[in-house]
């Protein structure tokens, strides 16, 4: 597995973890903290998606 492939895999895995954590916070019973924390988690997931797309576009010509 190349470093590029591993990097894209790790970005995808991190995005899934952020979304899962945000969903878990919404379903939990933690009060007002859960709203801010889940919003932050979803924002991090969105940032990771944008980063992954930029990384893929920048390094598309590098062989895997």
Q: What digits encode the pLDDT tens for the residues 17-29?
A: 999 999 999 998 8
Are the beta carbons of 42 and 19 closer than 8 angstroms? yes
> Which domain, by its residues, includes 21?
3-58
pLDDT band at 38 (very low <50, low <70, confident <90, very high): very high
E-only strand ranges, 8-64:
none
Residue 52 lies in a domain: yes
How far is Cα 7 from Cα 52, in angstroms, rounded to an integer?
9
Residue with more model confidence, 63 or 2: 2
pLDDT of residue 40: 96
Residue with more model confidence, 28 or 1: 28
Residue 40 lies in a domain: yes
Are the beta carbons of 48 and 9 closer than 8 angstroms? no
Count of the separate structural domains present in the chain? 1
Residue 63 lies in a domain: no
Q: What percentage of the chain reaches a pLDDT higher than 70?
A: 97
pLDDT of residue 39: 95
């Amino acid at each position: 597995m190349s470093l590029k492939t591993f990097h894209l895999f790790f970005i995808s895995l991190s995005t899934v973890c952020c979304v899962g954590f945000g969903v878990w916070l919404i379903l939990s019973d933690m009060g007002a903290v859960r709203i801010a924390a889940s919003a932050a988690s979803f924002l991090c997931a969105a940032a990771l998606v944008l980063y992954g797309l930029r990384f893929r576009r920048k390094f598309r010509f590098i062989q895997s």
